[in-house]
C-alpha cells in the first residue's frame, strides 16, 4: 500500500488536491510503518541474547532511524514547498531508499526474526 501511494504521489505531483492528499496519506503510512517496525519487530529482536542477532538488529534500527529522519525532512519540506521538479526528484530518491530497505529486511531481518520465532516455539 505504501509503495503504491508513493508511486501515485509521484505521478500526481503535489500541486493538485488529490496529489496533496496522497502525499499526506503517504506521510501517515510512513509514520505507521516505522512505529509498527519498532513495536512489533525491533522490540522482539532487541530482547534477544544472541550477540549476532543483537548486532543485526542494532544496524537495522540505526538505518531505520536514518531513513525516518530523511522521510521526515522530505515531508516537512513539501508540506510548504510546491516545487514540482524538486518533489519528483526527492520522492524518487526516497522511493529508492525505501525499496532498498524493504529488500534488505526481506533478505536478512525477517529470516532472523522467523528463526527466533521458531526457536521460541520449541
pLDDT tens digits along 78-119: 888 878 788 989 999 999 999 999 899 889 888 887 877 777
Q: What span, in angstroms and rounded, lies between the C-alpha atoms of 91 and 121?
A: 41
Domain count, the chain: 1
Give the model's confidence band at 121: pLDDT under 50 very low, under 70 low, under 90 confident, else very high. low
Q: What span, in angstroms and rounded, lies between the C-alpha atoms of 22 and 117?
A: 36
Which domain covers residue 81, as residue numbers?
Answer: 2-121
Spatial neighbors of 84 by CB under 8 A, at least 6 apart, are 13, 14, 15
pTM (2 d.p.)? 0.82
Residue 87's Cβ-count burial label (10 Å; 0-12, 13-18, 19+) is buried
Mean pLDDT, the chain, whole residue set:
85
For residue 119, the model assigns a pLDDT of 73
The residue with greater pLDDT, 68 or 47, is 68
Spatial neighbors of 63 by CB under 8 A, at least 6 apart, are 101, 104
Amino acid at each position: 500500500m505504501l509503495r503504491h501511494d508513493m508511486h501515485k504521489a509521484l505521478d500526481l505531483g503535489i500541486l493538485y488536491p488529490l496529489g496533496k492528499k496522497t502525499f499526506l496519506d503517504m506521510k501517515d503510512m510512513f509514520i505507521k510503518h516505522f512505529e509498527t517496525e519498532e513495536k512489533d519487530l525491533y522490540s522482539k529482536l532487541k530482547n534477544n541474547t544472541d550477540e549476532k542477532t543483537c548486532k543485526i538488529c542494532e544496524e537495522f534500527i540505526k538505518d531505520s532511524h536514518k531513513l525516518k529522519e530523511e522521510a521526515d525532512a522530505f515531508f516537512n519540506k513539501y508540506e510548504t514547498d510546491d516545487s514540482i521538479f524538486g518533489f519528483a526528484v526527492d520522492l524518487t530518491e526516497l522511493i529508492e531508499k525505501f525499496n532498498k530497505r524493504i529488500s534488505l529486511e526481506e533478505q536478512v531481518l525477517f529470516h532472523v526474526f522467523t528463526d527466533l520465532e521458531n526457536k521460541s516455539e520449541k
